[in-house]
Amino acid sequence: MAGSLPVVVHLYWVGALATACAAVLASYRLLTAFRVWVLRSGAVDVGPALGAWAVVTGATDGIGKAYAEELARRGMKVVLISRSKEKLDKVASEIREKYQVETKVIVADFGETQDIYTRIKAGLEGLEIGVLVNNVGISYAYPEYFLDLPDLDKTIDQMTNINILSVCKMTRLVLPGMLERSKGVVLNIASAAGAYPTPLLTLYSATKAFVDFFSQGLQAEYKSKGIIVQSVLPYFVATKMSKIRKPTFDKPSPETYVRAALGTVGLQSRTNGCIPHALIGWIFSLLPTSTVINFLMKTNKQIRARHMKKMKGN
């Protein structure tokens, strides 16, 4: 019995140290959250001081349109890039009338690669670009097993071209000008689905994980040169892509989400964008990765089953 006493004492101190470490970590997270979401201390004023123009891809709907409108509200001229000329002209007209700023549209289908970046480069020539929002993206129509995706080969090409290649190519076009002036912000819209492997959204999840990793690497490379690169990882936002029509507290409108997300620039190199999404991300971070993957698999199987049932009913 006496011989076991040192073991008990050892275990006590191990437990006490673990508890202390957990308390310190929890306190640090709380202080960080308070700084980011309440004080906003150190946040960058994303606006014309960075450069006269903002460039937004996928700018005619959802989060992209909300970024374009919010940056225009802050006084920035806006280049809108998307594949529909009709939609581009409509959004550009709305922004000009509402915010009294100059706009420019560039028609480009990021699902294709032939010559679009040559045309985009020509369209951006001579512009002082302070903000780039790499927002354009596509997801699945519904959760599905990889080999069962409709038009699989076409889907692979389109999703990698739109979700990955566009981010690399647009950054390649815009970053040199920012470096010349030693200031600029690149906002890469990833997804919370890229934070963990997401079964039944595997290809989408993997492309968004690339965006997240690409952003983190660029931030490390260029932060000392005055450039901010932020990875934005939203959960559900009420957009056409998510098929959510009515905003709620945890599924905000694009406008609400973007205003919150812009408030984190300079404070977080990776952000979930708004308080409810940050809370969800924090809860997931407490769980083992295998538990998260199993939960996502179960959830997406249920969504898939409801979709299949609906299709049969039609």
User: Count of CB atoms within 10 A of residue 80's CB?
Assistant: 26
Per annotation, catalytic residue among 204, 222, 235, 257: 204
**Is residue 102 within 8 Å of residue 52, measured between CB atoms?**
no
Phi, psi of 143 (to 5 degrees): -60, 135
Is 204 marked active-site? yes
DSSP summary character for residue 37: I
CB burial class (10 A; 0-12, 13-18, 19+) of residue 200? buried
Token output for 203: 């290809």
The span from the CA of 208 to the CA of 206, in Å, is 5
Helical residues (DSSP H) of 35-165, grouped into ranges = 62-73, 85-99, 116-124, 152-160
Query: Which of these, 130, 118, 121, 113, lies nearest to 52 by C-alpha position?
Result: 130
Kind and range of the H or E run holding 216:
helix 202-222
Residue positions annotated with a catalytic role? 204
